[in-house]
Amino acid sequence: MACKTWDGSAAEGRRGLKDSDGLPICLRTMALPIHEPGRVPGARPMAIATMAPDRSLEPLFAVPEGDDRSSHANRQLIGYLGMSLPILLWLIAAWRPTGLLPRWAHLDSVSSYYYSGAVTVFVGILIALAVFLFTYQGYANPHQRRDRVAAIVAGTAATLVAFFPTDVPSGLPAPSWWRPWMGWTHGVSATILFLSFIFFSLFQFPRSSGDRQALQPSKRVRNGIYFCCGGAMVICVLWAGIAEFARAPIFWPEALALEFFAASWLVKGRAGSTLRVVGRRAMHRVSDLGRAMRGSRP
């Protein structure tokens, strides 16, 4: 779109820097007259005022590294899927109660929601997660092969968790097609899935193609987050194992492990940078709306 010019006149200013067709004037700089003692108003010299940059042109995702073969969008989608899974299961199961399960109380495990009104969310998010894991390419460095293998293993495990449900919760009749081996397959696949998440956080995400001694402070902070998330997932998996052995509910260790998994992928995908850009764009739009409303007043 061609840019209109503005000579600083009051008539243009009252229209909120728009032309006669209502289109915004997109000059980056404008020449504004200044008045000095002894000078005739409107005479030269002119002062240059720089307008604020257009926030709508700011990239939504952080610039990827040169060897990045995936994308920050891919990593963020994986993270947001994991973060939303336990929350959506709990909310939708309460919104669509089955009558035989408690409405607002959480079930014994995240996988038990397969038998609730949130079954479509459970299966859908796991399959979407598997697709993004299958397509994850990692980085073009000596560690890429491990990235690909771990992602394929995790994607396969997520698919098996979705296709082969866990044991039927107590008080519910088992589907006619369900067999005990399906519950065993589900448990093994879920364990492999969480171990894959731990492997990414502890061993893959902290790696760098450069010298470890020359890491930037921001990279050191992110590595600390990866180690914390990976360690927390290890604790959650051990907690779930002990609870399973004691026949106790494992919903909370599974749900917390999913949140820590999500946090590590969101940090790897520079979600903080994306959220800052979204916030600045929103403030920019609100500011534009305010100027437009003031300019439309008689």
Q: What's the token pair of residue 276? A: 């800052």
Question: Is residue 164 situated within a structural domain?
Answer: yes
Asked if residue 187 and residue 40 are part of one domain, the reply reads: no
Asked if residue 160 and residue 86 are part of one domain, the reply reads: yes
User: What total number of domains does the chain contain?
Assistant: 2
Asked if residue 266 and residue 150 are part of one domain, the reply reads: yes
Asked if residue 205 and residue 102 are part of one domain, the reply reads: yes
Asked if residue 79 and residue 31 are part of one domain, the reply reads: no
Question: Is residue 258 situated within a structural domain?
Answer: yes
- Per cent of the chain over pLDDT 70 is 78
Closest CA relative to residue 84, chosen from 285, 258, 276:
258
pTM above 0.85, yes or no: no
Q: Looking at the predicted structure, is the pLDDT value of residue 39 above 70? A: no
Alpha helix positions (H), the chain = 10-14, 72-95, 119-134, 144-163, 180-199, 217-245, 251-268, 271-295
Asked if residue 39 and residue 139 are part of one domain, the reply reads: no
Question: Is residue 14 situated within a structural domain?
Answer: yes
Q: What's the token pair of residue 247? A: 């026949």
Domain housing 152: 72-270
Least confident of 42-51, 152-161, 182-191, 254-263: 42-51
Asked if residue 92 and residue 37 are part of one domain, the reply reads: no
Asked if residue 43 and residue 97 are part of one domain, the reply reads: no
d(CA 71, CA 65): 9
Question: Is residue 82 situated within a structural domain?
Answer: yes
What are the pLDDT digits (tens) for 54-110?
555 678 898 888 889 999 999 999 999 999 999 999 999 999 998 788 889 999 999
Q: Please report which confidence band the pLDDT of residue 175 belongs to, taking 50, 70 and 90 as the band edges.
A: very high
Q: Residue 284 in contact with residue 55, Cβ under 8 Å?
A: yes
Tell me, rounded to whole angstroms, the distance of Cα 197 from its chain centroid.
16
Question: Is residue 79 situated within a structural domain?
Answer: yes
Tell me, rounded to whole angstroms, the distance of Cα 128 from its chain centroid.
14
Q: What's the token pair of residue 164? A: 């082969």
Closest CA relative to residue 177, chosen from 186, 189, 164:
164
Asked if residue 214 and residue 94 are part of one domain, the reply reads: yes
The length of the chain in residues reads 298
Question: Is residue 281 situated within a structural domain?
Answer: no
d(CA 188, CA 63): 38
Q: Residue 92 in contact with residue 117, Cβ under 8 Å?
A: yes
pLDDT at site 28:
40
d(CA 262, CA 277): 20
Q: What Rg value do the Cα atoms of the chain yield, rounded?
A: 28
d(CA 166, CA 150): 23
What are the pLDDT digits (tens) for 224-250?
999 999 999 999 999 999 999 999 999
Question: Is residue 64 situated within a structural domain?
Answer: no
Question: Is residue 282 situated within a structural domain?
Answer: no
Asked if residue 248 and residue 122 are part of one domain, the reply reads: yes
Q: How many CB atoms lie within 10 A of CB 230?
A: 23
> Three-state DSSP class for 54?
coil
Asked if residue 13 and residue 109 are part of one domain, the reply reads: no
d(CA 35, CA 295): 26
Asked if residue 165 and residue 107 are part of one domain, the reply reads: yes
